[in-house]
């Protein structure tokens, strides 16, 4: 069956998701159009396609043990010079994100893996672009604020075109994988990843 590249993330819902994605495009990030706004729980991970049913069962179990939580974004941060990333800070909900990602990557599970950097939940708004544009992203979103309740997370698969597409939603407190996380406007995909410390 070959291999597939998977990832797990929390989508940033409307109206925040599209707003930040459009700002990312405006800063000149060439990948922005294919990267809806998100917080990563599992970075891109190559697995055997035959392991998908086990992975979905594992994620359903993680979600069943989870509970909705508030997430608040406020201001900007950067991983420079270690990594060319500017992001919006997760100032509330970080502990819950850390709890989730640790259980998704649990050593006894089907997607056990180590991270290149310590986990640091964030929302990327610029990656790998000119320093002047990175500075502009850092400054222009410095006063940004958003807040909402997280109801679950989702599994995504990377296509041959490099685009990440939704495979399954996993709402908290249930093993039902059919309930939807709010889609971001104008796209059928809800997450992708960029290389950055903690959340590649």
Model confidence pLDDT, tens digit, residues 108-126: 999 999 888 899 999 999 9
Confidence at residue 169, expressed as pLDDT on a 0 to 100 scale: 92
Confidence at residue 176, expressed as pLDDT on a 0 to 100 scale: 56
Q: What is the Cα–Cα distance from 70 to 94, expressed in whole angstroms?
A: 10
Q: What is the Cα–Cα distance from 13 to 108, expressed in whole angstroms?
A: 31
| Section 158-164 average pLDDT | 83
| Section 56-71 average pLDDT | 96
Confidence at residue 170, expressed as pLDDT on a 0 to 100 scale: 95
Work out the pLDDT band at 177, boundaries 50, 70, 90: very low
| Section 171-195 average pLDDT | 49
- At 105, give phi and psi (nearest 5°): -95, 15
Q: Which helix (H) or strand (E) holds 147?
A: strand 145-150
pTM of the model: 0.83
């Amino acid at each position: 069956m070959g291999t597939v590249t998977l990832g797990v993330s929390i989508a940033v819902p409307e109206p925040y998701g599209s707003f930040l994605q459009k700002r990312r495009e405006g800063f000149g990030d060439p990948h922005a159009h294919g990267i809806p706004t998100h917080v990563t729980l599992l970075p891109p991970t190559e697995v055997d396609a035959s392991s998908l049913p086990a992975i979905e069962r594992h994620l359903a179990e993680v979600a069943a043990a989870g509970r909705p939580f508030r997430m608040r974004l406020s201001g900007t941060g950067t991983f420079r010079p270690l990594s060319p990333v500017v992001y919006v800070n997760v100032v509330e909900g970080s502990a819950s994100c850390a709890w989730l990602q640790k259980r998704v990557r649990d050593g006894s599970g089907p997607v056990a893996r180590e991270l290149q950097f310590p986990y640091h939940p964030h929302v990327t708004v610029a990656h790998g672009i000119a320093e002047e544009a990175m500075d502009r992203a850092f400054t222009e979103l410095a006063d940004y604020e958003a807040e909402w309740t997280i109801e679950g997370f989702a599994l995504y698969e990377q296509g041959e075109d490099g685009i990440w597409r939704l495979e399954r939603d996993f709402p908290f407190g249930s093993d039902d994988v059919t309930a939807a996380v709010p889609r971001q406007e104008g796209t059928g995909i809800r997450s992708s990843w960029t290389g950055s410390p903690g959340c590649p």
